[in-house]
Amino acid sequence: MTEPDVSSVAVVGALGRMGQQVRAAIELEPKLRLGGAIEAVGNPRIGETLADGVVVGDDPRAALADCAVAIDFTTPTATLGVMREAAELGVAYVCGTTGLSDEQRAQVSKFAERIPIVHAANFSVSVNVLAWLTREAARRLGSGFDAEIFEMHHSAKRDAPSGTALFLGEAVAAGRQMRLADHVLLDRHGDSDGRPEGAIGIQALRGGDNPGEHTVMFIGQGERLELTHRSSTRDHFARGAVRAATWLLGRPAGLYPIAQVFDLE
């Protein structure tokens, strides 16, 4: 099937920090136009007009009806509710919401049997290149280097550690051919026997308006390699999500890795 020249996008969480950035990024993408805006029930701005014929609504089914793709940066519960409607309507889905449990991720995989979905903890192309570099560094440095990940975000962030820190932890684990769940170390306090061999440590800091900062450290004997990404705005996440939305148009159902969108596999 050929795709129309311009496809409509529904923005889920349209008035949130990321929702605003996504709407701005859609305006810069000639293949897309804003077609729907979904917000939480009870949001005082429901009914406000955002663009020609696009009014903020709290009914996902109505907002998705004429859209080819949705872009969602909300909360895990909101995401699963709207994604269910999208799966029923056949609307492709770009999801940036973080903090989903394993069970919630399994539900996303189930919906991907019906619609094409990209779910990524980070839509910045450079963070995805960082993950690629992290995997390669872990693979080449081997067991003589301890891996520690540090992340910092604004004080309103709900989930910790960040989805991106876990994503980078997965990259270390992939480079070492192990499972992150078997080696991740999220908490340190009190007395201990020292660092468990092969641990992948992740530490989270919160404060101010920081949109996100991640450093992966490989700490050896007398030397340390650090790979860092710092965000000063949120628009690069939004640009990546919009790029993923155009990439998804016309693809068959499935859960696509963000690395495939950015050609980093």
- Is 153 annotated in the active site? yes
Q: Which residue is nearest to ligand NAD (CB)?
A: 16
d(CA 93, CA 57): 18
| Closer residue to ligand NAD in complex, CB, 57/175 | 57
Binding letters toward ligand NAD, positions 88-127, x by CB under 6 A: --------xxxx--------------------xxxx----
Tell me which of 31, 119, 153, 214 is the catalytic residue.
Answer: 153
Nearest to 145 by CA among 175, 180, 186: 175
Q: Is residue 200 a contact point for ligand NAD (CB under 6 A)? A: no
- CB 212, CB 150: distance < 8 Å: no
| Closer residue to ligand NAD in complex, CB, 54/120 | 120
Q: Is residue 38 a contact point for ligand NAD (CB under 6 A)? A: yes
Residue type, 165: A
Q: Is residue 17 a contact point for ligand NAD (CB under 6 A)? A: yes
Binding letters toward ligand NAD, positions 222-261, x by CB under 6 A: ---------------x------------------------
Q: Is residue 169 a contact point for ligand NAD (CB under 6 A)? A: no
Tell me which of 157, 183, 214, 229 is the catalytic residue.
Answer: 157
Number of residues engaging ligand NAD in binding (CB under 6 A): 25
| Closer residue to ligand NAD in complex, CB, 115/258 | 258
Nearest to 88 by CA among 59, 111, 117: 111
Site residues for ligand NAD per CB under 6 A: 12-13, 15-19, 38-40, 43, 73-75, 78, 81, 96-99, 120-123, 237
